[in-house]
Amino acid sequence: MHLDRAELRVVSLPLLKPFRTSFGVMTDKNFVLLRLFGEGLEGVAEGVMDLRPDFREETISGALALLQDTVLPAVLGHDWVNPEQLMRHLTGIRGNRMALATVEMAFWDLWSRSLGQPLSAVLGGVRDAVPVGVSLGIQASVEATVDSAVSHAEQGYRRIKLKIQPGWDVDVVRAVKAALPDTPVTVDANAAYSLANLNTLRELDTLGLDYIEQPLAWNDMRDHVKLQALMNTPLCLDECITTAQDARKALETAACRLVNIKVGRVGGHLEARRVHDVAAAFSAPVWCGGMLESGVGRAHNIHLATLENFTKPGDTSSSSRYWARDLIHEALETSGGMMPVPAGHGIGVTLDLPFLETITQQKFEVGPVRQPVAGR
């Protein structure tokens, strides 16, 4: 597969309503969109790094510089047999998992289109629809949270996830569980707690949650080991897991009992599949997390979640929950708590280019680096 050129954009897609977590409030989703061109075909992916390094350490500005100056020039103008070969060529770049994932995911889309196959089939997926839950941001009141949770449960979503932070936790969880006693409910702290909050975490442990996601620091696996030993409720790690080795260490030391796989966080589909396989070896379920992706990233997530060990509902809920208008033509909507895998080759979605132009803040064309002519 010959890679001819690439296009990078910084896109700002307005949310239908603000989304609040322990990090703060988001009103627009700002992200890097990569279009990768080769042999008359196009592959596309979005980066999940933020404007600020609040989820992980990467940022949009830093990723743009690395992609333009280092990563894309290293792969454009060359032939690649498969994604494994392409990523081996980039092994000298340390960290920067989200930036590397953006290129790797776009190449997977391009490569599977060249094969005339859906990405799910090329990855080894086993289903044509994936179970879906919903993630609810911090609301204005407990009552508003309960109303939203009940509404989404009635729509068929198979898991309700509540964002929490110190001071917004036990009361809201208790109220939602009382309203939905038979619906799986989880909480996501986004690393907002420490062992100093042990009394609160132990109260959460009594409320019948399916799991508690990333309660402690984003880079502290050791304290998660201590906390899991004190809790009956399974812990799920997110920010702590960036590689299959991280997953192995977390499960081996009982820092958690299940893993949230975000394909952008772990560096792309190859590493996501390795994390999936490691978790399966420990009989630990996985589920596909989200980063408020547009339809491009959402489609990638759906295809990944077709792998066998994705047995917990993921975060790939309907696009219409987030956007008045998505940047793809296809509607990614759930039915009965299931999200169909987009039909077609690659990720199965196409860009709405006229609309994309209206939400593009910056655009860069990247071509292969010219090789010096011998003797000059």
CB 208 within 8 A of CB 231: no
The reply to whether 249 belongs to the active site is: no
- Given 161, 177, 262, 312, which residue is catalytic? 262
Encoding tokens for residue 369?
């680096």
Q: Which member of 163, 177, 249, 363 is catalytic?
A: 163
CA-wise closest residue to 115 among 38, 22, 227: 38
The residues, any chain, with a CB within 8 Å of residue 294's CB and separated by 6 or more, are 11, 13, 29, 31, 33, 46, 319, 323, 326, 327, 328
Of the candidates 33, 98, 27, 104, the one whose C-alpha atom is nearest the C-alpha of residue 63 is 98
At a CB cut-off of 8 Å and minimum separation 6, what does 250 contact?
Answer: 221, 224, 237, 240, 241, 256, 259
Could you confirm whether 262 is annotated as catalytic? yes
Q: What share of the chain is helix, strand, coil (3-state, %, to 5)?
A: 35, 25, 40
Residue 3 · residue 75 · CB < 8 Å: yes
| Tokens 């994309």, located at residue | 356
Positions marked active-site: 163, 262
